[in-house]
């Protein structure tokens, strides 16, 4: 579950990066690319937040449960 969350976060970053390229290109085309990438990123973000809320509500993940620490 945690890995899924991180994967979506990475995907959001990819769209954010794509938006910068649109910003850089400029013009009609760049503007389109930027707008679409930003729209995708906000849709994904809202989805991710919804997933987190649901997962928390149904107890699929607990806050601060992802632990790499050794058991002592």
**Cα(60)–Cα(28) distance, rounded to whole angstroms?**
44
Radius of gyration of the chain (CA): 17
Which of residues 4, 7, 29, 42 is near another protein by CB under 8 A?
Answer: 42
Q: Which member of 4, 24, 29, 54 binds another protein (CB under 8 A)? A: 24
Q: What is the C-alpha separation between 27 and 35, in angstroms, rounded?
A: 12
Determine the Cα–Cα distance for residues 27 and 32; give it in Å rounded to an integer: 9
**Candidate residues 4, 6, 7, 54; the one interacting with another protein per rule CB under 8 A:** 6
Chain contacts with another protein (rule: CB under 8 A): 2, 5-6, 9, 12-13, 16, 19-20, 23-26, 28, 31, 34-35, 38-39, 41-42, 45-46, 48-49, 52-53, 56, 61, 63-70, 72
């Amino acid at each position: 579950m945690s890995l899924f969350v991180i994967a979506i976060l990475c995907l959001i970053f990819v769209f954010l990066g794509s938006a910068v390229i649109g910003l850089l290109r400029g013009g009609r085309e760049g503007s389109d690319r930027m707008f679409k990438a930003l729209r995708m990123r906000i849709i994904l973000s809202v989805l991710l937040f919804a997933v987190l809320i649901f997962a928390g509500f149904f107890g699929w993940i607990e806050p601060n449960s992802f632990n790499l620490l050794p058991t002592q």
